Homo-oligomer: A and B are copies of this chain.
Amino acid sequence: MSAISSDVIRGYNDTMILYILLNEPSYGYEISKLIKSMSEEKYIIKETTLYSAFTRMEKNGYIESFSDEDRGNGKRRTYYRITDAGRQYYYDKCEEWTLTKEVVEKFIKK
């Protein structure tokens, strides 16, 4: 087994995206590349999963979108920035992860 089935990660895609947005805004394609490289190619988020996460998280108030103005007549990207609620959500998810990890590991044999 070399790749992680993303169903395992279900519920943590949002967390990964938010992590990337913590420091500066970004956009779909860049985020997907970052997730891939940061995970050392072990996790590749599906495009549809990513973009539907944007929609959902914007609706939930965790991120805000804006268009870049500096690309002249080039194709516009949709950038996302994290909101305060998004930061809060992210840190809550981190706490939850710690708990989850502890629990799951009681059922894992190495």
Q: Measuring CB to CB, which residues of chain A are less than 8 angstroms from any residue of chain B?
A: 1, 4-5, 7-12, 15-16, 19-20, 22, 38-39, 42-43, 91-92, 94-104, 106-110
Q: A4-B99, A8-B11, A98-B108 are in contact. List 4 more A-B contacts (CB 8 A).
A: A7-B11, A15-B104, A38-B107, A98-B110
* Contact partners of A99 in chain B: CB under 8 A: 1, 4, 42
Tallying the copies of this chain within the complex gives: 2
Closest to A12 in B: B104
Would B104 and A9 count as touching, CB distance under 8 A? yes
21 A-B interface contacts by CB (under 8 A): A1-B92, A1-B95, A1-B96, A4-B100, A4-B103, A5-B11, A9-B103, A9-B104, A10-B10, A12-B107, A15-B107, A19-B107, A19-B108, A19-B109, A38-B106, A42-B99, A42-B103, A91-B109, A94-B110, A98-B108, A98-B110
